Amino acid sequence: MSLGKIIDTKNNDLFKRIDKQKVPEHVAIIMDGNGRWATKKGLPRTYGHKRGVDVLKKILKASKKLGCKVLTVYAFSTENWTRPTKEVDFLINLFNEVLKNEIKEIHEESTKIKFIGDLTPFPETLKKIISSSESLTKDNNAFLLNVCVNYGGRQEIVKVAKELALKCSSGEIKLSEVNEELFNSELLTRGIKDPELLIRTSGEKRISNFLLWQLAYSEIYISEVLWPDFNEFEFLKAIIDYQSRDRRFGGIKSLPNESFEDSQYSS
């Protein structure tokens, strides 16, 4: 049997184990480990990012196949500007190239692409291609791909707080009207359901300023695999693990014959 066939069989076996009724609608991913992957191989870090794009394409396909509806990926954080200029320039150029080469297929598959973050510091050429990609795909409804660039969760929360404060001081809204729902409606992700699952690759166990508000009740899955080695098999493993979780949202699971005293310590 060829290696490709063996991989397909392994993936199919895992795929069959997934409860199609309990597939997360929205999966968020911190695609970590590109640099380490390349360095381990004696290659420049940029090779890891390039390979990372191929992996993202595969995971996008896998999540559609599974029935997920939204994928949100962390492609460039507000902290990534501190990397060497050469690497930052490479990433900016990579975003450009990916959009140029992939937007046709993304559109044909009725996927909507949205960039989340402060685009102001990016070069005009990138801003233009982002804007044209977003407007081309804006009415697509089979799938939503959110790409977070120059994004920071704290910055997003501060921005919303300022907007609400401004509305309060101008009298547009009352302080008593400020609640979670209103806060949600001002977020960059407004209108999008919060992720049920966050996957972070490369074994790091941090949120790293990603979707701080939106991840409040998300299940977190840490994969030891570096992003360039992540694949459909690893993705399916994350979904199966997610499906084994008991999501209580801070409440308690009511079991038959279970008294409050028995269950009060579960959270």
Q: How far is C-alpha 10 from the geometric centre of its chain's CA atoms?
A: 25
Does 32 qualify as catalytic in the annotation? yes
| Position 113 contacts ligand FPP (CB under 6 A) | no
Q: What is the 3-state secondary structure (H, E, C) of the chain?
A: CCHHHHHHHHHHHHHHCCCHHHCCCEEEEECCCHHHHHHHCCCCHHHHHHHHHHHHHHHHHHHHHHCCCEEEEEEEEHHHHHCCHHHHHHHHHHHHHHHHHHHHHHHHCCEEEEEECCCCCCCHHHHHHHHHHHHHHCCCCCEEEEEEEEECHHHHHHHHHHHHHHHHHCCCCCHHHCCHHHHHHHCCCCCCCCCCEEEECCCCCCCCCCCCCCCCCCEEEECCCCHHHCCHHHHHHHHHHHHCCCCCCCCCCCCCCCCHHHHCCCC
Q: Which stretch binds ligand FPP (CB under 6 A): 73-81, 168-176, 212-220, 255-263?
A: 73-81
Closest residue to ligand FPP, Cβ-based?
A: 35
Does 8 qualify as catalytic in the annotation? no
Rule CB under 6 A: choose which of 75, 103, 130, 164 binds ligand FPP.
Answer: 75
**Closest distance of CB 5 from ligand FPP, Å:** 28
**Closest distance of CB 99 from ligand FPP, Å:** 6
| Position 122 contacts ligand FPP (CB under 6 A) | no
| Position 52 contacts ligand FPP (CB under 6 A) | yes
**Closest distance of CB 179 from ligand FPP, Å:** 33
| Position 78 contacts ligand FPP (CB under 6 A) | no
| Position 144 contacts ligand FPP (CB under 6 A) | no
Which residue lies nearer to ligand FPP by CB, 184 or 208?
A: 208
Rule CB under 6 A: choose which of 23, 28, 29, 98 binds ligand FPP.
Answer: 98
| Position 69 contacts ligand FPP (CB under 6 A) | no
Catalytic residue among 8, 11, 80, 184: 80
Instruction: Return residues touching ligand FPP (CB under 6 A).
Output: 31-36, 49, 52-53, 56, 73, 75, 80, 94-95, 98, 147
